[in-house]
Amino acid sequence: MPVYRVPQPWLREAVESVLGQTYENWELLIADDGSDDSELRDGSSMNSAGVGVSMAADASTAEAAGEDAGAACRRLCDEFALRDPRIRVFHIAHGGASRARNVALDLLCGDCVFFLDGDDRITPECFESLIGVMQREQADAVMFGGRRIRSGHDVSGAQLLDGMGVEGEAGAQTTSGAPDESRTLDRLEALEALCYVYEYYPGFEMGSIWGLISREALGPVRFNRQMTIGEDFEFKYRILQRCRKVICVSGRYYIYRLQPGSVSLKETDGNVRGNLAELGKLIREERAYPQRLPALICRAVNIALLMYLRLPEETGKHSSKKSTGLQARQSIQKLKHRMAGTASGTNAEGTSGHASGSTSGILSEQEMLERFLRKYRRYVLSNRKARKKVRAAMACSCVSFTFMRRIFAIMKPHWNRSYEREAAGR
């Protein structure tokens, strides 16, 4: 669990939701990702447990908690470790959520793993219900749904969250009060559900990191530290590659907190080249499996499109200052490479070529993304299973990427209102 500057009330709710589980044979691994110490320190002895729980929280989730938020988080984590021997705390040098999750995965000793962010929580019956399904069905993984809250209000439905529970909902049941419905997927079906982001039930999110994963399915798979956008998808894709049987249930056990500082709401962080390189690597690996490739390409394009629309100059406000600053940085970078004689013309996948608008062989983030999207555009347009918004974006890009950005800027408020109306009707 990377915990770094998570507000104490949120962190306390997250841990208390694990302590309050009706299933008691679990182990909670918390990695303090904000310590100055570079050495791992184990605050308790290792115990045998049926479930390993890895919790993760991004550094940006608690900027409002004050300048001593890191120390406060550390103290609170240590307090929980002293309170319950099933909780183990590790203090590590700050390296990001992926590294901290990997530390926990390397040290877990349970039969399965469950990921929970330090600012979210789960319903009391979560472990008992999911483990029951996994054991009964002999599944490699169990996927489920959740609810999204903002300022205490459920924005994935019309209900108000009160305390640790969801009004009108028992954790192991759907909103209708009926027992969980379920769907069984084989490997190909699970990979397609992940890539096409299928929603089998209200609140169900196949594309989320949520899920109960068996130790056998986890194997050597770890989070890719070379990626900063799409790393959760890449991790889950590699997990599902190892699964023979995946069960999807209708229960909504996860309560996800929406907040302005969320990673999902941020602009691209300058690692476009690294993200595209890893997506390209995954695509090349999957060329040996033609049945799986169309779905993977659609999701890779979806991720690249998300990065493209997050570029500072492509935001809805079209900030001239941000655009000018980015262009200046790109010009300086190109000049340095030209002076060093390194105009090699390689793109994110290692192929050579010249992109229009580039004054040297070094591609800007925008050029790299446009090249990636052009390369796979026809695959998306010819795939009827691809998400409608992604196909629409690729169709608009055939006119120009500027036209695509303008259409998305116009339609974004309408899509947001449609989503809220749809959520309220669930």
pLDDT per residue over 323-338, tens digit each?
445 555 555 555 555 5
Average pLDDT over residues 193-203: 93
Cβ atoms of 45 and 85 closer than 8 Å: yes
Tokens, residue 72: 């406060």
Other CB atoms within 10 A of residue 425 CB: 9
- Closest CA relative to residue 387, chosen from 206, 133, 164, 165: 206
For 249-303, the pLDDT digits (tens) are 999 999 998 865 444 444 556 789 999 999 999 999 999 999 999 999 999 999 9
* pLDDT category of residue 5 using cuts at 50, 70 and 90: confident
Task: Quote the pLDDT of residue 213.
Answer: 97
Q: How far, in Å, CA of 127 to CA of 380, rounded?
A: 38
Nearest to 333 by CA among 379, 292, 365: 365
pLDDT tens per residue across span 155-193: 554 333 333 333 333 333 333 345 679 999 999 999 999
What the block records as the tokens of 337 is 């490479």
Q: Beta-carbon neighbour count of residue 148 at 10 Å?
A: 18
Query: At 269, is the secondary structure helix, strand, or coil?
Result: coil
Q: What is the pLDDT of residue 92?
A: 86
* In the chain, domain spans: 2-265, 272-424
- Label residue 4 by pLDDT band (50, 70, 90): confident
56: left (phi over 0), alpha (psi -120 to 50) or beta: beta
How many residues comprise the chain? 426
Residue 50 — pLDDT band, cuts 50, 70, 90?
low
Q: Could you say which DSSP state residue 346 is in?
A: B
**pLDDT tens per residue, range 102-112:** 999 999 889 99
DSSP per-residue codes, 163-185: TTEETTB-TTB-TTSPBPPEEEE
Given the candidates 2.60.40.730, 3.40.50.920, 3.90.550.10, 3.10.20.740, the CATH classification of the domain at 2-265 is 3.90.550.10
Q: Where are the alpha helices (DSSP H) in 256-400?
A: 272-286, 293-310, 320-340, 365-381, 388-397
Q: Full-prediction pTM beyond 0.75?
A: yes
